[in-house]
Amino acid sequence: MTAATAQGVDTGRLKAALDAEAHRIVYDQYLPETTDGLGDELRCISEVDRAHLVMLTERGIVDADRSAALLRTIGELRDQDFAPVRALPMPRGVYLAYEGHLIAQLGDRIGGILHTGRSRNDLNATTTRLKTRAPYRALLDAVDRLAGVLLAKAEEYRDVVMPAYTHGQPAVPIGYGHYLAGIAAGVLRAYRSLLDAGRQLDVNPLGAGAIGGTSVPIDPRRTAELLGFDSAAPNSVDAVASRDFVLELLSASAVLGVVLARAGRDLSTWTSEEFGLLRVGDTLVGSSSMMPQKRNPFLLEHIQGRSSASLGAFVAAASAMTTGGYTNAIAVGTEAVRHLWPGLRGTTDAVTLLSLVVAGTEPERDRMERRAVDGFTSATYLAERLVLDGTPFRAAHHQVGETVLGALETGRSLEDAAAFDAVEDGALAPDRVMAACAHGGGPGSTAGGIHALTARLDALRAESAARSARWSDGAALLSQAVAEAVTSCRQK
């Protein structure tokens, strides 16, 4: 037995290992949880603190020396990955343990100024948005990649003829590329919805206090700028009460998940031995522990399973939110919100797996075309030719139906069985029919459709990049402001 065989790489029939990215998604679920939830929370809190202190200093609410001392100590904690805070008991939550550490280090006169003009309520509303940025960004990047793969493969396979199916039966001839472009259209709508849903992520709730704002003359627009938000919340009640962005993101992700699941079902059917229309590459299939002959496109099952993650999360989050009044509420800010990140992660995994499968799957061209012929998919086109030659549609429909029946009884193709003056020789070949169906967004218009979808993707990509750039610019601006505040005090 070779080393490769021992590791499960060479199964006899399969000679390649599972794609590394697919392996991470499918099998890392069995590894211990590696996300650092406490660290993520502390990093977001400290980021908000830095922006808040810069703003308080600029407004003259806190003197520069005390602010600089706090900023230096917060910076040291960040460099230490918050090790001193991690070791503390947290009977009243993460923030109060963290603030208590700063007060213990610097004294109440310095450490005690941190919470000026704010509450844990608006702080939590702000940090939730900051924590959502990374998984939201990951989902957008995955959707962007999937859309690009679908459109690239749609162009590559634009002229590959296959039967479209309705009710599981061959219907009309289309291109495999036309089908992929159709899926791309659904993915791009979801991309648009996700970007729209993310707008509430860009509203800064900091400054709303517990629920009634504050009498301290703070400047939420400045903290918004430093944290990469594009606006400040105009109403303090809404700022701390609402987590609607959670529902909006999960809703958009759930709709995307439906598209993914439906595509996964099609591909699962078409990759079966009975259909044999598609072949998935060896790095994207699995074998059987018992049956040596198997090539299982099992990633498609994971796509179908994970595509519903956001739907389940939406139901759970919405159900939790309905129990809380329109104020700061644990049911809303904690219990509902906790469903967001697993929902986004599951959808991201499904999107990534579908990208891999679409990129690594090739159509069985001859088989596809043979099924288009044997399925009499040119029958509708034949009926339409008779209509354009003057036959009423229902009569044409009946005549062609009888022709198909006769072809089945005699074992002939539709082309051989048809004897209509309105149809020239060779006109019923599926590729010619496909090309002729250029109206109503049919396969004859695929090239133009791909061009339009590509332009839409470019616009969405630019909007997504602009949002990410604002977040990065805010982080850079904040780091610069903190450095200047600390340096200016040292030079005094």
Same domain, 166 and 209: yes
Q: What tens digit of pLDDT does each residue of 406-415 get?
A: 999 999 988 8
Same domain, 125 and 160: yes
Same domain, 256 and 164: yes
Q: Do residues 464 and 192 make contact, with C-beta atoms less than 8 angstroms apart?
A: no
Q: Do residues 123 and 48 make contact, with C-beta atoms less than 8 angstroms apart?
A: yes
Last residue of a domain, one of 303, 334, 369: 369
Same domain, 41 and 30: no
How confident is the model at residue 384, as a pLDDT?
A: 94
How confident is the model at residue 76, as a pLDDT?
A: 95
Cα distance between residue 106 and residue 100, in whole Å: 10
How confident is the model at residue 292, as a pLDDT?
A: 81
What residue has token string 């949002």?
467
197 domain-assigned: yes
434 domain-assigned: no
228 domain-assigned: yes
Same domain, 326 and 177: yes
Same domain, 127 and 232: yes
390 domain-assigned: no
Same domain, 158 and 101: no
CATH code at position 286:
1.20.200.10
435 domain-assigned: no
Max distance between CA atoms of the chain, in angstroms, equals 100
| 410 CB neighbour count, 10 Å cutoff | 9
How confident is the model at residue 3, as a pLDDT?
A: 40
Residues of the chain predicted below pLDDT 50: 1-7
Last residue of a domain, one of 319, 342, 369: 369
Contacts of 160 (CB under 8 A, 6+ apart): 175, 176, 177, 363, 365, 368
Query: 235: phi > 0 → left, psi -120 to 50 → alpha, else beta; which?
Result: beta
Last residue of a domain, one of 335, 369, 403: 369
Instruction: For residue 214, give both structure tokens.
Output: 């504050």
Same domain, 201 and 332: yes
Same domain, 81 and 130: no
Same domain, 104 and 199: no
What range defines the domain where residue 48 resides? Answer: 37-118+476-490
274 Cα distance to chain centroid: 32
Our count of domains for the chain comes to 2
DSSP state of 296: B
What residue has token string 């977040």?
471
Same domain, 94 and 194: no
Contacts of 93 (CB under 8 A, 6+ apart): 120
How confident is the model at residue 125, as a pLDDT?
A: 97
